[in-house]
Amino acid sequence: SVFFISITLIGCAQTQVRHKADHYEPQRSVSVLLMPVDIELSALTAGGVNEVRADWTAKAEKLVSKSLRSQLAQHDDKLLDYVEPTDSDTLQEHNQINKLHGVVGKTILIHSLLPATEPPTKKGSFEWSLGQEVSSLREASGADYGLFVFVRDSYATAGRKSLIVASALFGLYVPGGSQVGFATLVDLRDGNVVWFNHISKQTGDLRTESAAHSAVQELIEDIPL
């Protein structure tokens, strides 16, 4: 989308870790619930439209999830996979929490890259929450924290690449594909966001194992576990 292309252009730094200042990790191993990765891969058309590709998305979701489990296993913590509840109401509630994370994460991302947009109540602090509703995830899993990951990746089509080349001949800049994502660690006891990191770049093919590994490595940099 235009939003994420803009974020990629603004965010020169690939990562930017933010955390809750008064959060202290208990001196013991904690359990972390790995939520389903919210990811979409798209083809960026000549007209600038992102057309979601289900096949690309499914492949990237598997690679990113696998890499998350592998890299987080290096921490002295108990990693729990999210188990989809059989109750439809509970499932809908969990899906809404994941969607809310996307909304809150985008807001944090904007304020991180454009500090001037932060409301006065947020100046000089990092106070964000997904609300008490996350307690249902704790009740279902017993986990202390939830790790949420959101990624949007797009790749220029042949038509878009031709447009990029043609525009460059006239001194005009037309953006190609972009990769934007963020990871958030949420305390499931109170809903507070205790850590946030994002990536924004124009390279890296999440349909490949090496690029997925690299993206995950950047996303979970300095995670307080």
36-47, pLDDT tens digit by residue? 999 999 988 878
The whole-number pLDDT of residue 222 equals 85
Q: What share of the chain in percent tops pLDDT 70?
A: 84
- 55 has a pLDDT exceeding 60: yes
Return d(Cα 8, Cα 218) in angstroms, integer: 15
Q: What does each C-alpha distance from 92 to 10, 55, 96, 179, 188 come to in angstroms?
A: 34, 24, 6, 28, 18
pLDDT of residue 204: 75
Q: What is the mean pLDDT of the chain?
A: 83
For residue range 146-186, list pLDDT tens digits in order. Answer: 999 999 998 877 787 787 788 888 888 766 678 889 999 99
- Residue 170's pLDDT is 84
CA distances from residue 114 to 70, 101, 110, 120, 133 in whole angstroms, order as listed: 33, 20, 6, 14, 29
Euclidean distance between CA atoms 198 and 129, whole angstroms: 17
Label residue 73 by pLDDT band (50, 70, 90).
Answer: confident
pLDDT at site 76: 73
pLDDT for the residue numbered 17: 53
Distance CA 44, CA 53 (A): 10
pLDDT value of residue 175: 67
Question: What digits encode the pLDDT tens for the residues 96-136?
Answer: 999 999 999 999 888 877 777 777 776 667 889 999 999 99
| Confidence at residue 154, expressed as pLDDT on a 0 to 100 scale | 87
Q: Judge whether residue 10 has pLDDT over 50.
A: no
Confidence check: pLDDT of 21 > 60: no
The yes-or-no verdict on residue 15 having pLDDT over 90 is: no
The string of DSSP codes covering 183-196 is EEEEETTT-BEEEE
Q: Do 160 and 46 meet the contact criterion of CB atoms below 8 Å apart?
A: yes
Are the CB atoms for 77 and 225 separated by under 8 Å?
A: yes
